[in-house]
Amino acid sequence: MTELTRMTAVDLAAGIKKKEFSAVDVAKAHFDQIAAVDKKLNAFLFIDEDGAMAQAANVDKKLASGEFLGPLAGVPVAVKDIFTQKDIPTTCGSRILENWRPPYDSTVVSRMKNADMVLLGKVNMDEFAMGSSTETSAYGPTTNPWDTSRIPGGSSGGSSAAVAGFLAPLAVGTDTGGSIRQPAAVTGTVGVKPTYGGISRYGIVALASSLDQAGPFARTVLDAALLHQAIAGYDPLDSTSINQPIPDFVAAAKHKDIAGMKLGIVKEFAGEGYQAGVLNRFNEAVAILRNLGAEIVELSCPSFTYALAAYYLIQPSECSSNLARFDGMRYGLRVDDGDSSVEQVMAATRAAGFGPEVKRRIIIGTYALSSGYYDAYYGSAQKVRRLIADDFNAAFSQVDALISPTSPITAFKIGEKLNDPMAMYLNDICTIPVNLAGVGGMSVPIGLADEDNLPAGMQIMAPVMCDDRMYRVAGALESALVSSWGGLLLDKAPRL
């Protein structure tokens, strides 16, 4: 029998139901794997072994008593440390929230609990989701299972590393400018940023409210679809969640037929800064899609050129406001010498509690929102955002979905770009327009780049509330690629 930790979520759920193994066996195997290899990865910030084993035992009990169990019952999942989970530490990778235990569950967490999933613990991230490498975490960087001297992407690097390192078959992350798709691409996993409003943001510590969106990580397209289906859907606690029926992602992932679909390659996503090996794999994948019967066209989205600039005004602006509440008054860190004014305590707490990247963005955002600068910065950025959405609409009037490389480069070395914010921000050049327009985006593994034998990903983008199209394209592509590789790309990763 395959090792439990190397099985897909689909197979784990089936095996538990057939009583080939118990949910407790599955949880135990994952905690053993975490104990064995997480010192190399630093993916987990908090391991909830007691809670998870109790959840697993409960699944086995339900199964024994013949209760109905959902499609992911007993399947372990790693939770990015940005989702609140009742009584479980939620740090957002920041000192300022060290030891904070929220009194409530985020909607994503409560839906996973209701699906009888087994929540293993909280995984690492860039501080408050600001970064593309998980290096800005106050709790040390997470490493890439393909090469532990390299970054696992970010900000959901704990989630990507946990799935790629076989510490969890599934993980949830959040994506504000690429924070699910880029880590998925550089670790050879599948990552999905759903349509904005497709999954409730309730209980997700906000980075940029108008851009943040939760989504699944998995090793296969079908596993991602199952997790996505379990956590998606309208939530009255989130005013921006969309009150519409959710498409059938699972059926789309199983569909495998893309004959007649029209896919667009965005001209602007190429050129300087793109690694040749990544483009090679991308072009081969495009050829496979064409062979599968898709019609491929090239089109232009001229406003995408300004996406990065607009993003780095809107996101820091919202973040400067969202992060104001961390002032030492109610929870988290408080730096108080007992002889300071309330303003001094707030300032000292924020100075000590936030890292440099968070401070950088708060300062940029505070400036951009100031009266006298608002129109030039935040106002202009919102106009660009509108233009980008228009470009997507125009493109989607011609094609069913768009495709591009997910990240222009493969995983870089830890420390290589930490002191060069612009170089770091360029990792998200292909993913940012998707968040600005609120459409769906997904990354699937397409092979290893020639130069470094590290994973590359293809991004598939679909119109609002048409995320099922991404699964359809990804499912067909994965099927073809897995046949040619003789297994998942991740099987090629070195054993830790």
Partner 1 sequence: MNLFEFENVITDFKPVLGLEVHVELNTKTKVFCSCPTNFGASPNTNVCPTCLGLPGSLPVLNEKAIESIIKIGLALNCQIAPWSRMARKNYFYPDMPKDYQISQYDEPICFDGFLDVLVPNGDDSSKIRIGIERVHLEEDTGKLTHAGGFTGRIHGADYSLVDYNRAGIPLVEIVTKIIPDTGELAPEVAKAYVATLRDLIRNLGVSDVRMEEGSLRCDVNVSLMPIESNQLGTRTETKNVNSLRSVERAVRFEMQRQAALLKAGERVKQETRHFHENDGSTSPGRSKEQAEEYRYFPEPDLLPIAPDSKWIEQLRSELPETPTAKRERLKQAWQITDFEMLAVVNAGALDLIEATVELGTDPSAARKWWLGKITRIANERGVELEQIDITPAQVAEIDQLVATGALNDKLARQVISSVIAGEGSPGEIVQKQGLAVVSDDSALLDAIKEAIVAMPEVVSKIQDGKLQASGALIGAVMKATGGKADAAKVRKLLFDYLGVSQD
* Minimum CB distance to partner 1, residue 285 (Å): 35
| CB closer to partner 1, 202 vs 392 | 202
User: Which residues in the 51-90 window bind partner 1 by CB under 8 A?
Assistant: 83-84, 90
For residues 91 and 125, is the Cβ–Cβ distance under 8 A?
no
Sign of the Cα pseudo-torsion (89, 90, 92, 96, in order): negative
Counted residue by residue, the chain has a size of 496
Task: Pick the binder of partner 1 from 60, 318, 428, 452 (CB under 8 A).
Answer: 318
Among positions 244, 370, 393, 398, the unique one binding partner 1 when judged by CB under 8 A: 370
Can you read off the two tokens belonging to residue 321?
Answer: 């406001």
Q: Per the residue annotation, which of 94, 132, 155, 320 is the catalytic one? A: 155
Residues 6+ apart with CB under 8 A from 92: 81, 82, 125, 127, 128, 129, 205
Q: Is 155 a catalytic residue?
A: yes
Q: Are 172 and 80 in contact (CB under 8 A)?
A: yes
346 binds partner 1 (CB under 8 A): yes
Binding mask 97-136 for partner 1 (x = CB under 8 A): x--x-xxx-x------------------------------
Q: How far is the CB of 434 from partner 1 (least distance, A)?
A: 17
How far apart are the C-alpha atoms of 207 and 155, rounded to whole Å? 11
Candidates 48-56, 263-271, 338-346, 389-397; binding stretch for partner 1 (CB under 8 A): 338-346
Pattern 223-262, binding to partner 1, x per CB under 8 A? -------------xxxxx----------------------
Closest distance of CB 325 from partner 1, Å: 5
Q: Which of 133, 179, 200, 443 is catalytic?
A: 179
DSSP string, 1-52: ---GGGS-HHHHHHHHHTTSS-HHHHHHHHHHHHHHHHHHH--EEEE-HHHH
Beta carbon nearer to partner 1, 27 or 208? 208
Q: Is 80 a catalytic residue?
A: yes
Instruction: Tabulate helix, strand, coil % of the chain (nearest 5).
Output: 45, 15, 40
- Tell me if residue 19 is catalytic: no
Residues binding partner 1: number (CB under 8 A)? 45
Q: Which stretch binds partner 1 (CB under 8 A): 3-11, 197-205, 428-436, 468-476?
A: 197-205
Q: Which secondary-structure segment (H or E) carries 317?
A: helix 307-322
Q: Say which amino acid occupies 421.
A: P
Active site residues: 80, 155, 179
